């Protein structure tokens, strides 16, 4: 056979002496189990020897599916997204789907442009980690009737499925831990209120300090400009400037907590001897910090996997129920928290 000619499904089937539908099943990870293992292995080995690659464009014309899923991230440098991506990629791969991952930042015009580009390439659905509580880009996706699932963040209107951590419970765990250690003057560095994570964790903090009957003068909230480390440093400076007697800080995420560490080093503040800090997310490597960061662990890998499952259900049935998944967080106690100094 002329190796310069593109080898088709029927060519491979003829060479393997099986029906082309058998080859089709083998080439799709979601249906490979329908073929006997020895036959599948023989076909895959032969496909590799012949340089066969499935023609996804032709398959897409037949099935009206591209096998592609768009994944839109706000900040790919944030370590929390790596395990989310791993979770969703594992599920998508098992069903023959390939994710296209794009880092878009917070600019809504760029987000809209990227989503238009993805839809122009016929993605079968979108997983958004970028959406705000009231989001014009999400409004646009809903109007386009493309299957969408939100991950790590939710929206106020509840129009699309989402997979999130229980942010209220997470902040309650942080405050309960600090109060149990003896802290009564606690600050919170909140994420942006436009994001569900920032808003819900702030509300969770307020609910928790009130439940412990901390007086208004004993707790304080400063909202960070974003979820970055530098924003955390600036917010920590503002927080301690307004309330220098604070003995503990519950940060809205681990990067904000890292910003607190930066400010402590600048000012010669001991942690946890001078101020205790609790982060949120348990992103990779916070256990290797000095001191190791006490934080609220969210089930990021499961979050990604569940988001992929919800999206595949929407792709299979556009009328599927708009289901949301709220995962339970866990407090991980390390070296950055201790009882307040006398």
317 contact partners, CB below 8 Å, separation of at least 6: none
Hey, what's the torsion of the CAs at 109, 110, 113, 115, to 10 degrees?
-110
Q: What distances in angstroms separate CA 201 from CA 35, 56, 194, 207, one per listed residue?
A: 49, 43, 12, 10
Dihedral sign of CA atoms 300, 303, 309, 315 in order: negative
Integer Cα distance of 129 and 113 in angstroms:
16
Look at residue 61 in the predicted model and tell me its pLDDT: 44
Look up residue 286 and give its DSSP letter: G
**What is the full DSSP assignment across 189-257?**
EEPPTTSHHHHHHHHHHHHHHHHTT--GGGEEEEE-SSSSHHHHHHHHHHHHHH-TT--EEEESSHHHH
Look at residue 56 in the predicted model and tell me its pLDDT: 56
Phi, psi torsion values for 152, nearest 5 degrees: 75, -25
Look at residue 97 in the predicted model and tell me its pLDDT: 92
Look at residue 64 in the predicted model and tell me its pLDDT: 61
Burial level of 57, CB count in 10 A (0-12/13-18/19+)? exposed
Q: What is the mean pLDDT of each successive set of 10 residues along the chain, which is 342 residues long?
A: 60 79 76 81 79 59 71 90 94 92 90 91 92 89 92 88 96 98 98 94 97 93 96 98 96 98 97 97 94 97 96 87 91 98 80
- Which residue segments constitute the domains of the chain, with CATH numbers given? 9-54 (1.10.260), 65-165+300-327 (3.40.50.2300), 167-298 (3.40.50.2300)
Q: Terminus-to-terminus CA distance in the chain, angstroms?
A: 84
Tokens encoding 82: 């790596």
Integer Cα distance of 178 and 8 in angstroms:
64
Integer Cα distance of 258 and 264 in angstroms:
10
Phi, psi torsion values for 135, nearest 5 degrees: -125, 115
Look at residue 41 in the predicted model and tell me its pLDDT: 83
**pTM, to two decimals:** 0.80
Nearest C-alpha neighbor of 164 from the set 76, 251, 75, 280: 280
Look at residue 1 in the predicted model and tell me its pLDDT: 39
Look at residue 35 in the predicted model and tell me its pLDDT: 81
């Amino acid at each position: 056979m002329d190796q310069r000619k593109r080898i088709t499904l029927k060519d491979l089937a003829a060479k393997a002496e099986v029906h082309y539908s058998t080859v089709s099943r083998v080439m799709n990870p979601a249906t490979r189990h329908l073929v006997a293992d020895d036959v599948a292995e023989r076909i895959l080995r032969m496909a590799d020897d012949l340089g066969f690659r499935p023609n996804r464009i032709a398959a897409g014309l037949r099935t009206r599916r591209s096998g592609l899923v768009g994944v839109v991230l706000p900040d790919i440098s944030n370590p929390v997204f790596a395990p989310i991506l791993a979770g969703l990629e594992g599920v998508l791969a098992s069903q023959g789907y390939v994710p296209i991952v794009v880092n878009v930042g917070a600019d809504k015009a760029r987000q809209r442009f990227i989503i238009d580009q993805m839809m122009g390439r016929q993605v079968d659905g979108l997983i958004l980690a970028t959406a705000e509580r009231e989001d014009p880009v999400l409004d646009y996706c809903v109007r386009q009737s493309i299957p969408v699932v939100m991950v790590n963040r939710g929206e106020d209107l509840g129009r699309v499925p989402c997979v999130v951590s229980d942010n209220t419970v997470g902040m309650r765990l942080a405050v309960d831990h600090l109060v149990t250690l003896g802290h009564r003057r606690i600050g919170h560095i909140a994420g942006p209120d436009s994001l569900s994570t920032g808003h819900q964790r702030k509300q969770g903090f307020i609910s928790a300090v009130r439940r412990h009957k901390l007086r208004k003068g004993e707790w304080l909230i400063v909202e960070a400009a974003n979820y970055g480390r530098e924003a955390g440093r600036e917010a920590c400076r503002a927080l301690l400037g307004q309330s220098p007697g604070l003995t503990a800080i519950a940060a809205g995420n681990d990067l904000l907590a890292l910003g607190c560490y930066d400010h402590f080093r600048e000012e010669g503040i001991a942690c946890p001897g001078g101020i205790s800090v609790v982060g949120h997310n348990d992103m990779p490597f916070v256990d290797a910090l000095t001191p190791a960061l006490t934080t609220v662990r969210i089930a990021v890998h499961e979050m990604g996997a569940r988001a992929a499952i919800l999206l595949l259900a929407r792709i299979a049935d556009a009328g599927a129920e708009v289901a949301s998944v709220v995962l339970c967080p866990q407090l991980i106690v390390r070296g950055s928290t201790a009882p307040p100094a006398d």
